[in-house]
Amino acid sequence: MTRFRLTVEYDGRHFVGWQRQDNGMSVQQALEEAIFKFCGENAAVQGAGRTDAGVHALGQVAHVDIDKPSVGDTVRDAINFHLRPWPVAVLTAQAVGPQFHARFDAVARRYRYRIVNRRAPLALEQGRAWLVNLPLDADVMHEAAQRLVGQHDFSSFRAAMCQAKSPVKTLSSLNVARRGGDIEIDVEARSFLHNQVRIMVGTLKHVGEGRWTADDVSEALEAKDRAAAGVTAPPDGLYLMGVEYP
């Protein structure tokens, strides 16, 4: 048996999320079915992050154990062949030691949230970004975002159904930058609460519109109450960019 580390890219619009569910196709199920077609094994694919329905990935990491003697390139190409027509691609497949675990060994996860800030509707980016019509000030959004960096109780920024044992998380960085008509919000941490990134983005949108100040963000954080923070941004603009390991 060989354990393979997979780097996976997918368009989240077509899935109910990463994790298997009863209400539709998940990325995990698509991968496991493709692996079964390749080698006839009911192999469990373990992902580094359980992205929600509609959330995309450019660098999701997963691992899977396969009995069939294979090399990484063969595993990658075979899985990709059987994944069609699902919008999922295995970018790399690398043989690793049996002790490697995609989720528990991760030391950092990087997400990006994309906002298209313009009046016109989305023609090509529908489902891949959040369209915000009102002008946003990315500089003041970035300044306010720094209030959330570091270790905090993020109770105000977690979904009601969040199953994390503790609301305390440590953000390594949270940066906001305008690139033409796009605003990109990049965030890194070892782990996140359910919907934490999307709630932080929705809160920073209030700042960019001039409705909130950086002090309002601090007050929302200190309140430790979901009702104190901003809206939950839609999943469309959220991308899992990469996962770091020791």
Q: Which residues are catalytic?
A: 52
77 vs 1, 8, 74, 100, 224, CA distance in Å? Answer: 19, 12, 5, 22, 47
Q: Which two tokens stand for residue 100?
A: 């490697």
Secondary structure letter of residue 24 according to DSSP: B
Establish how many alpha carbons lie within 13 A of residue 173's alpha carbon, considering only the half-sphere containing its beta carbon: 11
DSSP strand pairing (182-189 vs 130-132): unpaired
Q: What angle do CA 17, 57, 51 make, to 5 degrees?
A: 30
CB neighbourhood size of 148 (10 A):
21
| Cβ count near 97 (within 10 Å) | 8
- Identify any residues that bridge with 184 across adjacent strands, giving them in sequence order: 114, 177
d(CA 203, CA 232): 8
216, 207 contact by CB (below 8 A): yes
